[in-house]
Amino acid sequence: MNEPADTPEPRPLLDEALGWIVRLKTGEPTAADLEALQRWRAQSPLHEEAFRDAARVWRLIGVAGRELADETSEKNASPLQAMPLRSAMTRRAFVGGAVAASVAVVALLRPPLDLWPSLKEFSADYRTGKGERRVVAVAPEVSVELNTQTSIAVKPTQAALQIELISGQTAVSVDLPQTRPLVVLAAGSKITANEARFDARCIGGIVSVSCLEGAVSVEQDAFVLRIGKDEQVSYGADGIMRSSRIDPRRVTAWQEGLLIFHDAPLAEVVEEVNRYRPGKIIIATTDLSRRIVDGVFRVDRLDVLVEQVKRLFGARAITLPGGVVLLG
């Protein structure tokens, strides 16, 4: 059934409610501020419900932040030991799920907000944490550089040297004979190369392959596309491949410790920055998430992003334990 045209969508209302909390928590609210909030809440039952939901999210953000800070201090604990059942369940509740006995298992398989690695990532042969890069020689003729939060598994066969890109981003250099190529598996597809240098990225089921030298073949189901130097192919769960030209400097900037954005929505920028920065930056309002960003950021100085958003867009920020920042 379609909703009436004048019924507010729940997500924008929640964004607005979170924005009110940010405004009230980042200063000393005046009587006029409180009266304006009461008028906003009184507009409809949905407004009041959104404010109550935002208040619960606010409390749970604090809980998640404190737990992230506790995990950071537990340097001698194993990754699985550092995430007890109560902790996993609390984080799941934070992103809106009901707390139930099965939540811990679901959270291990598909962590909310990527606050910790999935069980599949833990089982990888090679894995990097936030802000970490690592070069792996999987064979004398194959070098793989892992970007932040990247997991790969080595699965050689008689016909090919095979690697699975479980999640993350890799820079691959390969020089192998035609009889035994390198095959990179990613989200149900195959990336094949013999003599090439390419970048492969697989995040949230979205894959992009950028050829920097040589040639690379990408196969998904029965569809095969071959790309050459400075070409990129991208695809997702819809199975549609899109090819385009690339700026190789932007593709490889992460290898120099840089992130380059051009006409990118702030939501997209924050999503990428969160892959490198400890904790989590959360945008509380839809309008702010749509603001356009141009810039170059060093991965070892990403907190400047928060300061620039505050200065350029007039946003307010609340900093919580564990590196959690709420922008609104």
Give pTM, 2 decimals.
0.68
Question: Where is 201: in which H helix or E strand?
Answer: strand 195-203
Residue 49: what pLDDT? 84
- Rounded mean pLDDT, 269-277: 94
Map out the domains of the chain as residue ranges: 10-120, 126-251, 253-327
- In 3D space, the residue among 160, 158, 234 whose CA is nearest the CA of residue 199 turns out to be 234
Distances in Å between the Cα of 268 and the Cα atoms of 143, 228, 235, 274, 293 are 29, 27, 17, 10, 9
The structure tokens listed for 160 are: 């090919």
- pLDDT tens readout for residues 109-159: 344 444 444 555 556 899 998 899 999 999 999 999 999 999 999 988 888
- pLDDT tens readout for residues 9-18: 445 777 677 7
Q: What single-letter amino acid sits at 284?
A: A
126-251 folds as Jelly Rolls (2.60.120)
Q: Percent of the chain, pLDDT > 70?
A: 73
- Rounded mean pLDDT, 302-320: 90
In our burial notation (b when 16+ CB lie closer than 10 A, e otherwise), range 270-308 reads bbbbbbbbbbbbbbbbeebbebebeeebebeebbebbee
Residue 16: what pLDDT? 78
The structure tokens listed for 202 are: 């697989």
Distances in Å between the Cα of 266 and the Cα atoms of 187, 295, 310 are 26, 11, 12
Domain 253-327 class?
A: alpha beta
Residue 225: what pLDDT? 93
Residue 102: what pLDDT? 37
